[in-house]
Structure 1
Amino acid sequence: MGCLSSKSKRNIKATEYSNNNLKYQKTIKSLERNESINDLYKLEQIISILPYGNIVKAIHLSTSLLKSIKILNLKINDSISLNERHLSLEVDTLSKLDHPNVLKIFDILHDDMKLYIIMEYWEGGLLFDKIKQEGMLTEKITGCIIEQILSAVKYCHDNKVIHRDLNPKLIFMMNNSGKPHIKIGEFGSSVFIDPEHKLEGKFDNCVFVAPEVAFDDYNEKCDIWSVGMIMYALLTGRTPFTDNLIDICEESQKKGQINVKLLEELGVSQLAIDLILEMIKYDHNQRISAVEALSHKWFELIKSNSEEINKNLEDALDHLSCYSSTTKLIDAIQEFIARQVISHKESKNLIEVFKILDSDWDGKLSQQELIKYYKRSMPEDDAQKLVNDIFQVADSDQSGYIEYSEFIKSSMARNNLTSKQHLETAFKMIDCDNNGKLSRKELESILDGTSLSGDKKWMKLLTVADKNNDGEIDIKEFYDMLLEFQ
C-alpha cells in the first residue's frame, strides 16, 4: 500500500523508534476538506526536481517566512504509490535531528493527491550545482564543506542513524556567497543502527554509494565512503569511478585503492589525498570513522582563526553567561522561536561559535567544553560555577547537554531573539485557528517533546498574563509576557 492513500485518517503519526536521544516527533497532518496548500503558502519557483515530485521555494502567507516545500505525488500511477515505510522514516528521522548541518523540517501536510514536507529554505542551491559551476574547489573551501558533512554524519551515527545515500544532490547550500554553509537532508534511505540485525537494502547504481551496499554487507561506515567520494569530486570536479557499484567493487579489489594520479597532477596536498584514501577503503572494517576523519591533520592545515570568529565567540559566551530562564513556558516559547523562526542568516555567526565549542563534534555542548573556554578569562572554580548556573537554565530538557537549538536560544542577544517581528511571527504560527488569540491548547502544542509536556504548572503564568481574563492570550498580552522577561 502506498503512503497515505486517499481518505486517510487525520493526524497520522510517523513511525516511532526507540532512540531516546532524539526528542522531537512530527505528525503528518491532513489539510482540511476545503483547504489547499495555496491557502497557506505562496508557491514560487522549483528549486530541485525529484523522481516523484519537486522541491519549491515558498512563502508562508501568515508570517512571510521563506520555506522550501517538498511536494510528492502520493500515487505515481494506478499500480505504484510512494513507499509509506520509507516516507515515514524520512519524516521521523529528519524532524528529530537537531544539528547545525542537518536540514530542519517544520511541518508535514497532505491532501488526497500530494504530500507536503515543509523545510527550511536554502538559497545556495545544491552542492552538485556548485561542483558543476566551479569544476573544482580549493582545499580550504573543500575542507570547510567536508568538515560540516562529517560533523553531521558523526551526529547521525551517534544517534544510531545511517544515511546510506549521501551524494552532492542531497546536500544543500544554505548561502550563495562567502564561507559555504551546508546541510544534509533527504533521509528516505536511512536506517537505524541495530547490532543484532544485519543491514539490508540495495540502491540504484551510484558512484557515491559504498560498494559493500551492493552485497547487503555493511555498517555505518558506508556513509564515510560517500564523504570520501564527495571530497574527491570537490577537489577534481569528477569522481574516481564512472561505472556502477559492481564495477567499482571489481576495480577497487584489483587496485586496492583509487588512482591518485589526478589528485597529484592537480596539486592536491598529500594530507588531503591521505584522508580520501582512508575514507575510501574497499574493506569497510578498515575504513576510518567520522570522528577519526574529523581528527585528521588535514583539517588543521586548512583552518584559520579570524578576528571576526573570535569576536562572535566572545559575544555568544557573554550572552550565554547572562542568560536566565524565567519560567518554563517562556523558555519553551523562546526555544520555539530559535527552532522555527530564526533564519539561517540570523544564526550563521552562532553556528560558527557552536562548532568551535563542540570540540568532540557530537552536536551538543558538555559542561567541560564550556568550562574550557570560560576558564581562559577566569579561575577554573569560577568557570565551573558559571557553567553549572548556565546549565541549570539553558539545558531545558535536563539532558546533561546543551543541544543546538538550546544554544541558539540561550546565546542569542535577547533583543534579537524576542524582537517584535519574531514575536509576531511566533504568535501567528502558534495561533492555529487564526482568531488572533492563543488558547491554552495552542500554547500547549509547542511543549510537545519538552520537559513541560503534560505538566500543567505553567498554566499559572497564563492566569497572570491574561490581563482581560478572557481565558486566552491576545497579541499584546503575548508581547508583554515575553518582553517582561528580557
Structure 2
Amino acid sequence: MGCVTSKKKMPIPTRISKVSDLKVQPSTFVVENHERFQDVYSIGTSLGSGTFGEVRKVIHRSNHSERAVKIFRKDLATNEEKKQKLLNEIEVLKRLDHPNIVRVYEFFEDTKRFYIVMEHCKGGELFEEIIKRKSFNEVQTAQIVYQILSALAYLHDHEIVHRDIKPENILLEEKGDIMNCKLIDFGTAAFFEKGKLLRGSIGTAYYIAPEVLVGNYSEKCDLWSCGVLLFILLCGYPPFDGRNDVEIIDKVNRGHYEFKGEIWKHISSEAKDLVSSLLSPEPTRLTASEALTHPWVALNSHRTMPNTTIMDAALKNLKNFHNTSKLRDAVNTFITTQCISQKDTKELRDVFRAMDTNGDGKLSREELLNQFSKTMGYNAASDEVDRIMAEVDTDNNGYIDYTEFLKATLDIRTVMSSENMRRAFDLFDKDGSQSISAMELKKILAGEAISENKVWESIVKEVDQNGDGEIDFNEFQQIILSKL
C-alpha cells in the first residue's frame, strides 16, 4: 500500500536547572554510535530482507552479546519521505518501554547505510509459526492476542499508532515460545493526537482497516488488524481473501466475513464475539484496553505465573530499593537496558506481567497495593507502596514502567558486575582519559534538554573524593557500589 509519512510529534525541550530536574530514561542511551559499525559488531547470518535492505544477526565484539540489526541502503531510499520513515522508526522505538515491544539499543550511519541495532528474537516470525501449526487452540490464541493487545494499549496511551499489525511483524523470543512475543517494525508508526484523525493509506492488504483505505482514521485501525490476526490464529486463513490486493481490498471495504467451515463449529461464541467486536465499524470497535477486558481474553489468556520464590525475591527487592543518586540511577538504567540479556530478565517479566493485572504495560499504585496487601495489612501495604513509588518511579509519571521495575528487582550484584561497571564508565569517559568530567556527563545525560553547567558540576562534586573536579574509576565504583 502507499504511504503518507506523518509529521513527527517532537517533545518540548525541558530545562534542567537543578539535579532533581534530571530524568534518566531508557531513551537517554539510545543514541547514534559514531564508531564504524563493523568495528563494534561482527555481522552474522541473514534474518530477512525488505524493500530498503535486510536484517542480520550480529555479535557485539567487546561483550559478545547477540543482537539484530536492520540495515538500510541509502541508495534505495530514493526520496526524503523514505528517509523520514527510517528516522521516524528510530524516534518511535526510543520512546518505548514494554516487555512485548522490541528493544532498540543504538544506531549507526555511514556514507552508504543506516543501521538500527535491536533485540535478537531467535524464534522467528509468528507468521512462520502459523504456517507450521495451521491454527492454534483458543488458549494459545488468547495468550498471543493478549500480548499484542497489551502492546497496543501501551502504544495508544503514548499516542503512537503502529499501522501495520500482522504476523510478520510479531517475533517469538525463542522457537515455539508463544508466551514471549515482540512487536516489531515501527517504520509505518505515527504519533497522533487524541480526537484528531490520521490521514494517508498505509498498511498491508489482508490486515488494513476499511477506514484507512478512505484516508481518515484513528488509532483503532490497529484493533481491526488485531481482529484479522485473531481470526487467522483461530482458523488458519484470513477473513478477507483474494487472488490479488485489488480483490482483497474490495472485500475489506465491504467488511463481510463468515464463520464458515468445520473448524468454526468448535470455536466458542465468546471468541467469535471478540472477532466481531474488532472487525466492526470504527465507532463501535473496541479499544485495546476494552479488548483486554473482554470475557474471552480474561478466561483464556493464562499468563505464566512466577514461582513463589521468584515472586517473593522480586517483591523484597522492590521494598529494599533506594534511589540514592542521579549518577547511580543513570548507571543502573544504562546497564539494565543496554547490558542485561533477555535470559536474565525472563523470570522478572513474568512477575511484571502477573502484577500488571490490566495489561497496560505499567504498574499502578493500585496494582502494587493489590500485590502487597496479600502479605500485610492494608494500611501497612499502603505505606509500603507509597515509599516504593517514591523510590522506583524515577520519572515521576505516577507509574512504575517496565525498566524502572527491572532496575529495582534485578539482582544488583549481577547488574553491577565488574564488566558492566567498566562498560558504564567507558560510556561516560568519552575522551578515554580514565576520568569523567562534568561536560562528559552533560553530553550523555542532558539529551535535548537545556541545562546549566552547575548541575553537572554538582553531580561530579558529590562523587569526586580527591577534589580534582573529575570522577576517576575508583570514585565511580565507590559511589555506584556504596549501597550494595
By how many angstroms is 1:326 displaced? 1.4
In the alignment, structure 1 residue 420 sits paired with structure 2 residue 418: yes
SS at match of 1:109: strand
1:197-346 mapped onto 2 (5 Å cutoff): 197-203=196-202, 205-243=204-242, 247-248=247-248, 250-251=250-251, 257-262=256-261, 264-265=263-264, 267-281=266-280, 283-304=281-302, 308-346=306-344
SS at match of 1:153: helix
Structure 2 vs 1, CA of residues 424 and 88 (structure 1 numbering), >3 Å: closer, same or farther? same
Structure 2 vs 1, CA of residues 322 and 72 (structure 1 numbering), >3 Å: closer, same or farther? same
In the alignment, structure 1 residue 362 sits paired with structure 2 residue 356: no
CA–CA distance in 1 between the matches of 2:30 and 2:309?
40
CA–CA distance in 1 between the matches of 2:221 and 2:24?
22
- Which of 326-335 and 204-213 deviates more? 204-213
By how many angstroms is 1:300 displaced? 2.7
Q: Which has the higher contact order (CA 8 A, sep 6+)?
A: 2
- Which of 442-451 and 314-323 deviates more? 442-451
- How far does the alpha carbon of each residue in 1:354-391 deviate from its partner, in whole angstroms, 9 at most, with x for none? 22222233322221221111111111111111111112
SS at match of 1:365: coil
Residue in 2 that maps onto 1:150:
149
By how many angstroms is 1:466 displaced? 4.5
CA–CA distance in 2 between the matches of 1:455 and 1:363?
36
SS at match of 2:445: coil
Aligned counterpart in structure 1 of residue 445 of structure 2, from 417, 422, 447: 447
- How far does the alpha carbon of each residue in 1:40-69 deviate from its partner, in whole angstroms, 9 at most, with x for none? 111111112121101111122233222211
By how many angstroms is 1:220 displaced? 0.9
**What amino acid is aligned across from residue 136 of structure 2 in structure 1?**
L
SS at match of 1:478: helix
Structure 2 vs 1, CA of residues 278 and 127 (structure 1 numbering), >3 Å: closer, same or farther? same
SS at match of 2:59: strand
By how many angstroms is 1:441 displaced? 3.6
In the alignment, structure 1 residue 52 sits paired with structure 2 residue 52: yes
Check whether the contact 2:305–2:350 (CA below 8 A) recurs between aligned residues: no
Check whether the contact 1:327–1:458 (CA below 8 A) recurs between aligned residues: no
SS at match of 1:116: strand
Check whether the contact 2:303–2:353 (CA below 8 A) recurs between aligned residues: no
- How far does the alpha carbon of each residue in 1:247-268 deviate from its partner, in whole angstroms, 9 at most, with x for none? 44643566x6421124744733
**What amino acid is aligned across from residue 410 of structure 1 in structure 2?**
A
Residue in 2 that maps onto 1:37:
37
Check whether the contact 2:163–2:222 (CA below 8 A) recurs between aligned residues: yes
Alignment coverage as a number of residue pairs: 467
Residue in 2 that maps onto 1:68:
68
Structure 2 vs 1, CA of residues 438 and 136 (structure 1 numbering), >3 Å: closer, same or farther? farther
Structure 2 vs 1, CA of residues 446 and 126 (structure 1 numbering), >3 Å: closer, same or farther? farther
CA–CA distance in 2 between the matches of 1:312 and 1:278?
37
CA–CA distance in 2 between the matches of 1:166 and 1:470?
54
Check whether the contact 2:73–2:113 (CA below 8 A) recurs between aligned residues: yes
Check whether the contact 2:436–2:472 (CA below 8 A) recurs between aligned residues: yes
**What amino acid is aligned across from residue 53 of structure 1 in structure 2?**
G
Structure 2 vs 1, CA of residues 101 and 272 (structure 1 numbering), >3 Å: closer, same or farther? same
1:6-21 mapped onto 2 (5 Å cutoff): 16-17=10-11
Structure 2 vs 1, CA of residues 205 and 93 (structure 1 numbering), >3 Å: closer, same or farther? closer
Structure 2 vs 1, CA of residues 456 and 166 (structure 1 numbering), >3 Å: closer, same or farther? farther
By how many angstroms is 1:288 displaced? 1.0
Aligned counterpart in structure 2 of residue 397 of structure 1, from 395, 398, 422: 395
SS at match of 1:207: coil
- How far does the alpha carbon of each residue in 1:204-244 deviate from its partner, in whole angstroms, 9 at most, with x for none? 65201212211112211110011111122223332222236
The Cα RMSD (Å) is: 3.1
TM-score, normalising length from structure 1? 0.86
CA–CA distance in 2 between the matches of 1:263 and 1:470?
78
By how many angstroms is 1:136 displaced? 2.2
Check whether the contact 1:94–1:185 (CA below 8 A) recurs between aligned residues: no
TM-score, normalising length from structure 2? 0.86
**What amino acid is aligned across from residue 183 of structure 2 in structure 1?**
I
CA–CA distance in 2 between the matches of 1:229 and 1:143?
14
- How far does the alpha carbon of each residue in 1:278-298 deviate from its partner, in whole angstroms, 9 at most, with x for none? 1112x1112111111110111
- Which of 339-348 and 130-139 deviates more? 130-139
Structure 2 vs 1, CA of residues 469 and 327 (structure 1 numbering), >3 Å: closer, same or farther? same
CA–CA distance in 2 between the matches of 1:272 and 1:194?
31
Check whether the contact 2:164–2:204 (CA below 8 A) recurs between aligned residues: no
By how many angstroms is 1:177 displaced? 5.0
By how many angstroms is 1:163 displaced? 0.8
Check whether the contact 1:437–1:475 (CA below 8 A) recurs between aligned residues: yes
- Which of 107-116 and 356-365 deviates more? 356-365
**What amino acid is aligned across from residue 409 of structure 2 in structure 1?**
S
CA–CA distance in 2 between the matches of 1:266 and 1:44?
46
CA–CA distance in 1 between the matches of 2:267 and 2:426?
51
Structure 2 vs 1, CA of residues 453 and 484 (structure 1 numbering), >3 Å: closer, same or farther? farther
